[in-house]
Structure 1
Amino acid sequence: MATKQPLVLLVDDEHDLCVLMQMTLARMGIKTHIAHHLQQAKLFFSEHKYNACITDLNLPDGSGLDLVKHVTQNYPKVPIAVLTAYGNMEIAIASLKAGAFDFVNKPINQQHLHQLLTKALHVPLVDYSEDNLQLEHQLLIGESKPMLKLKDTIKKVARSQAPVFISGESGTGKDVVAHLIHKLSNRSDSPFVVINCGAISEELIERELFGYVSHSFAGATQDKLGLIQSANGGCLFLDEIAELSLTTQSKLLRALQEKKIRPLGSEQEIDVDFRIISATNQNLEERVQQGKFRQDLFFRIHVMDLHLPPLRERGKDILLLAEHFIKNICLEWDIPSKELAEESKRFLQNQSYAGNVRELRNMIERAITLCDGQIIGLEHLQYSQKRNFSAPLVEAPLNSESLSNTQESSNQIPSEGLEQFLEKVEKEVLLNALNQTHWNRTLAAKKLGMTFRSLRYRLKKFGLDSEDD
């Protein structure tokens, strides 16, 4: 049986442009209808079943935004993209917020048009398959009201090409949500590239993002593909995006707007097609006001916003997650399965979890290590908490007086040598700050008066860093 030919509605009052797009889509095996007015487009929608729609924003009898809203409300399974004038990003972002699938700049690049339609015609349906539902359950565990609402939003966000910004406290699982959005999208067969902007120095971040050609700087012996180009066709997840310098922010904004990049040392631009998902636990609005984050980039990445609830607000999810971690850790360590005693369950449900899901997993992992039998008792959890999380959040001064145990007398010369002594002091200061903030690295960095990137460097030096986000 022959495959049914896709049908796409083109809406624009420029006749020549419509003909050009029609010819391009015909070469892709796509049938098209053309409407030159808003009301005509609405009429066509009532008479035909379209697989996708592309509309200009400026129509003789109205705005393309009105058509976006009309299609989103009445034909939610039909992806609609908008044509925007070069540089008119505010309207483009408004259209994405209104429900547009994506946008393409004028003058139209045929390659961009081809990429847009290819993805539009492969948008996942809202009615997910059993495999997708199982994937969702595996990656995002929870049945509380906040999590059910979040899962519903993720399904809608996954159908779009719009940028996604994920906020939430440290340890809430922003990386897990980003990965789930990618896996449920029509880009799932393409790369999902992750970069922690706070873990890479300012000197290296541009090289990592945009790549470089050989001999572009000392030590560049060969060309290197940047992470943006590596994510071509897929998603780029920028964690801790607030750590980017203003210079890098400017280059990233250009890549998002023009869908082109220029590797360091190259004179040629490269077309790229990627969806950006970004996250941070910092307040970006405050950083914009402080002049540390570009306002135009702020609006560009804040199209689809997701806020992850802290674990303390997720009620029964605490035990679901605890049991999930117990099962997985026992399988991973190839040891007999264990279960929580009733008093252990009550204990877990009554914790505040400043470190959120990451803290819960660490607590479970340590409890399993301490438990020789099958039942994880209260003593195993309390011991784990006492070692790492139960210290009260007092504003203890982080100075030499708080580290008196390091050296019996400040008048003595350290027997291990000055460098080792200073490293020992530095490590104790770091641990003190981390324990006071329940291992929330962002808060610890603020307490120590240093940047998040500097803290990460020092934690790596002492083997205290974790890649879990």
Structure 2
Amino acid sequence: MSDLNKILIIDDDESICRMVAKQIKSDGHHIDCAYTGKSGIRKLKEGAYKVVLLDLCLPDGNGLDLLPQIKKRGDSPEVIILTGNADHSSAALSITMGAWDYIQKPFSTEELKVIINRAITYQNKKRYNDVNWLDRKHIIGESRKIKQTLNLVAQSAQSDLNVLVSGETGTGKELIALTIHENSARKDNDFIVLDCSILTESLIESTLFGHKKGAFTGAIQNRIGVVEQAHQGTLFMDEVGELPLSSQKAFLRILQERSYRPLGAKQTKTSNFRLITATNRDLKKMVKEKNFREDLYYRLKSLEIYIPPLRERKDDIPKLAVFYVTKICARLKIQSKKLSPEFLEALVKNDWPGNIRELINTIEHAIVIGRSEPVLYQHHLPENIRISSLQKDLKKEYPVEPLFNGYTTDMPSLQTVRDTAIYEAEKKYLETLKNACNGNIALMQKKAGISRSRIYYLLKKYNISR
């Protein structure tokens, strides 16, 4: 059966699973069942599904907690909520979190079939087409992981759902938010950025909602808040995990009601804005530790987009390097530079804990160092990048020719074998060290942990030119 018609049922009631599976198989769908949330997530990792039927009451947790995990997958199946509880607040919340529909047990099989077939029709129409129309000038790369992220970007651009962008520092969360905005119906209006990490607690509400002159000490003139500035556009709140607990309730209210009152004002105002937030913190953990409101957390992550770190998408590094070399050279008003294979190889080897931001800074360093040269080489890179490349080379297992080829009874002595192995290993080490340090004797001495005179002696011994 085609993967395009695979359906996963996550429900602890085995009889319900069997009944539903039997009924909807007749429409040509392939059905898998999972009886716990954990086993459901495991099945999702093993294969692509177009629809997930998700019960809210599972033995190992609430189905609502699984919904964001399911929706943030690259294949992003449609989720239909099943429950035996007439909990209308959960129904509303599941829809805002991205569920396709919500149906209460007991339900009509025909009604469920109609909902499933509509969801599959929608999935099949958008399958593999989401990224093609996307204007993605800010996002460089063709790796599988970045394409999964872009698939979610394309889906979110077609809706007004609140989006939470997560990922390590330097992965490009603001660029993802900007891409969503520029591909949405709001693209002709403002994209307002607010960095929550630089806000003092006393000024947060004034920054968000604005204030009237004289509303508090220091309010010497009227100020328009970012919520009003983002009317008809997009408000991007970076580092939302830094928003103080005391201010979260006020912000939750505006998300629910879309109305607010500037400090010192008598009249309330409304604002029609799309909210995108970003964080490198674990908000779910903060919720458990009572440092972040649970209701706000679920409001923010109607759809979550995870950006993989650069070390998990190394295939994209050469294209990123070419893009940023061209961009930086244009900014510096100098001719663009070519990149040597050794330069690109060193970039790919690095793990980039600072992600794309660190890569950009590294490339700019190399351009400044090699400003007058048409080609960038490994020696233009910062010392820590060259050393990292060297260390990875030295960890490689190099093939060694068998020492005993051609020998039968006339075996060499153990000392001969030992001396030969040491000779080959030392020579290979020195050649690799010299290339990585670009012949810099002081750097070679530092990395090898031996004296300068010893370096010179070994280079002469192994006939390695300086």
CA distance in 2, matches of 1:230, 1:346: 45
Residue 203 (str. 1) matches residue 202 (str. 2): yes
Letter of the structure 1 residue corresponding to residue 355 of structure 2: N
CA displacement at 1:215 relative to structure 2: 1.3
Hey, what does 1:332 align to over in structure 2? 331
CA displacement at 1:201 relative to structure 2: 1.6
CA displacement at 1:315 relative to structure 2: 2.3
Letter of the structure 1 residue corresponding to residue 93 of structure 2: I
CA distance in 1, matches of 2:341, 2:360: 18
Gaps spanning 5+ residues in structure 1: where? 1-86, 102-124, 392-469
Hey, what does 1:97 align to over in structure 2? 97
Hey, what does 1:145 align to over in structure 2? 144
CA displacement at 1:313 relative to structure 2: 0.7
CA displacement at 1:222 relative to structure 2: 2.5
**Deviating 4+ runs (over 6 angstroms):** 125-130, 386-391
Structure 1's 212 and 283: CA in aligned 2 closer, same or farther, altered over 3 A?
same
CA distance in 2, matches of 1:152, 1:361: 25
With normalisation by structure 1, the TM-score equals 0.56
CA distance in 1, matches of 2:202, 2:164: 25
Letter of the structure 2 residue corresponding to residue 175 of structure 1: E
**How many pairs does the alignment contain?**
279
CA distance in 1, matches of 2:222, 2:247: 20
CA distance in 1, matches of 2:209, 2:130: 35
Hey, what does 1:317 align to over in structure 2? 316
Q: How does 1:131-170 map to 2 (within 5 A)?
A: 133=134, 135-136=135-136, 138-170=137-169
Hey, what does 1:7 align to over in structure 2? none
CA distance in 2, matches of 1:169, 1:141: 17
Hey, what does 1:380 align to over in structure 2? 380
CA distance in 2, matches of 1:129, 1:252: 33
CA displacement at 1:92 relative to structure 2: 2.7
CA displacement at 1:326 relative to structure 2: 0.4
* Secondary structure of residue in 1 paired with 2:165: strand
1:13-38 Cα distance to aligned partner (Å, 9 max, x none): xxxxxxxxxxxxxxxxxxxxxxxxxx
Gaps spanning 5+ residues in structure 2: where? 1-86, 102-124, 392-466
CA distance in 2, matches of 1:249, 1:88: 24
Kept after mapping to 2: 8 A contact 1:363/1:384: no
Structure 1's 198 and 157: CA in aligned 2 closer, same or farther, altered over 3 A?
same
Residue 248 (str. 1) matches residue 247 (str. 2): yes
Letter of the structure 1 residue corresponding to residue 96 of structure 2: L
Letter of the structure 2 residue corresponding to residue 187 of structure 1: R
CA distance in 2, matches of 1:236, 1:388: 40
Structure 1's 129 and 175: CA in aligned 2 closer, same or farther, altered over 3 A?
closer
1:341-371 Cα distance to aligned partner (Å, 9 max, x none): 1111111111000000001000000000001
Structure 1's 129 and 307: CA in aligned 2 closer, same or farther, altered over 3 A?
closer
CA distance in 2, matches of 1:194, 1:100: 30
CA displacement at 1:200 relative to structure 2: 1.9
Kept after mapping to 2: 8 A contact 1:89/1:257: no
Hey, what does 1:71 align to over in structure 2? none
Hey, what does 2:222 align to over in structure 1? 223
CA displacement at 1:219 relative to structure 2: 2.2
1:89-123 Cα distance to aligned partner (Å, 9 max, x none): 6433311334569xxxxxxxxxxxxxxxxxxxxxx
CA displacement at 1:384 relative to structure 2: 6.6
Letter of the structure 1 residue corresponding to residue 163 of structure 2: V
CA distance in 2, matches of 1:216, 1:389: 58
CA distance in 1, matches of 2:173, 2:93: 23
CA distance in 1, matches of 2:243, 2:142: 35
Kept after mapping to 2: 8 A contact 1:242/1:293: yes
Letter of the structure 2 residue corresponding to residue 176 of structure 1: L
Structure 1's 89 and 240: CA in aligned 2 closer, same or farther, altered over 3 A?
farther
Letter of the structure 2 residue corresponding to residue 277 of structure 1: I
Hey, what does 2:13 align to over in structure 1? none
Structure 1's 90 and 249: CA in aligned 2 closer, same or farther, altered over 3 A?
farther
1:258-287 Cα distance to aligned partner (Å, 9 max, x none): 111111122321111111100110111111
Hey, what does 2:269 align to over in structure 1? 270
CA distance in 2, matches of 1:141, 1:261: 38
Kept after mapping to 1: 8 A contact 2:97/2:301: no
Letter of the structure 1 residue corresponding to residue 363 of structure 2: I
RMSD: 2.7
CA distance in 2, matches of 1:88, 1:220: 44
CA distance in 2, matches of 1:261, 1:228: 9
Kept after mapping to 2: 8 A contact 1:310/1:356: yes
CA distance in 1, matches of 2:146, 2:331: 26
Kept after mapping to 1: 8 A contact 2:164/2:302: yes
CA distance in 2, matches of 1:240, 1:314: 23
Structure 1's 344 and 389: CA in aligned 2 closer, same or farther, altered over 3 A?
closer
Letter of the structure 1 residue corresponding to residue 148 of structure 2: K
* Secondary structure of residue in 1 paired with 2:198: coil
CA distance in 2, matches of 1:246, 1:225: 23
Letter of the structure 1 residue corresponding to residue 255 of structure 2: L
* Secondary structure of residue in 2 paired with 1:291: coil
CA distance in 2, matches of 1:270, 1:246: 24
CA distance in 1, matches of 2:90, 2:227: 23
CA distance in 2, matches of 1:163, 1:184: 15
With normalisation by structure 2, the TM-score equals 0.56
Structure 1's 277 and 347: CA in aligned 2 closer, same or farther, altered over 3 A?
same
CA displacement at 1:383 relative to structure 2: 3.2
* Secondary structure of residue in 1 paired with 2:381: helix
Hey, what does 1:109 align to over in structure 2? none
Name which one, 1 or 2, has greater alpha-carbon Rg. Answer: 2
